[in-house]
């Protein structure tokens, strides 16, 4: 039975016909829409490589049955940059060497964007590490990741101050 799924992905409204309800949001992003920035690491919730924002909150797309998210707004790594300019979290990951192979990086960055928005960790490295604990990095770039989150938190706060 074909079912219709409506999503707003990175600002664009999409209508998709799904002929198989087994598809996860991760399958839809990667295989139907070609948005391969979101990675499939473990496909069972344990690595965080598939982290996206659903209605502004970070969620593991591999655990999200696509049909159950009909009507949702999704932001993926492809939707972060502002035109030619990188998002401050993306820029900070480059400046602080927050990666080596880069496979976990889209998930790390989406998780970091959400962590900063949650405003629970502030500039406390221990709380940042805890807040990022669902995102594994096989290259162990953790030190750079924590630095990047710290720098991006400062950069975003500055941006907000200037805008006010």
Ligand X SMILES: Cc1cc2nc3c(=O)[nH]c(=O)nc-3n(C[C@H](O)[C@H](O)[C@H](O)COP(=O)(O)OP(=O)(O)OC[C@H]3O[C@@H](n4cnc5c(N)ncnc54)[C@H](O)[C@@H]3O)c2cc1C
Quick one: 70 or 159, whose CB is closer to other proteins? Answer: 70
Exactly one of 27, 99, 114, 116 binds ligand FES (CB under 6 A); that residue is 99
Binding of ligand FES by 50 (CB under 6 A): yes
Q: Could you tell me if 146 and 164 are in contact, meaning their C-beta atoms sit under 8 angstroms apart? A: no
Q: Which position among 4, 6, 20, 94 is part of the footprint of other proteins (CB under 8 A)?
A: 20
Q: CB of 88 within 8 A of CB of 152?
A: yes
Phi-psi region of 24 (alpha: psi -120 to 50; beta: other; left: phi over 0): beta
Q: How far apart are CA 83 and CA 81, in angstroms?
A: 6
The rounded distance, in Å, linking the Cα atoms of 57 and 77 is 14
Residues within the interface to ligand FES (CB under 6 A): 40-43, 45-50, 60, 62, 99-105, 137-139, 141
Residues within the interface to other proteins (CB under 8 A): 1, 3, 20-24, 27, 43-45, 48, 51, 54, 57-60, 62-65, 67-68, 70, 111, 114-115, 118, 130-131, 133-135
């Amino acid at each position: 039975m074909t079912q219709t799924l409506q999503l707003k992905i990175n600002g664009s409204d999409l209508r998709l016909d799904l002929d198989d309800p087994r598809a996860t949001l991760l399958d839809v992003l990667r295989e139907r829409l070609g948005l391969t920035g979101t990675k499939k690491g473990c496909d069972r919730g344990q690595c965080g490589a598939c982290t996206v924002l659903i209605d502004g909150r970070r969620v593991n797309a591999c655990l999200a049955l696509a049909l159950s998210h009909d009507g949702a707004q999704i932001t993926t790594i492809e939707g972060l940059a502002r035109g030619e300019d990188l998002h401050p979290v993306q820029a900070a990951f480059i400046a602080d060497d927050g990666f080596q192979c880069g496979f976990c990086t889209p998930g790390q960055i989406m998780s970091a964007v959400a962590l900063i928005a949650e405003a629970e960790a502030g500039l406390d490295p221990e709380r940042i590490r805890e807040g990022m604990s669902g995102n594994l990095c096989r290259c162990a770039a953790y030190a750079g990741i924590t630095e990047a989150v710290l720098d991006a938190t400062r950069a975003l706060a500055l941006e907000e101050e200037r805008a006010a």
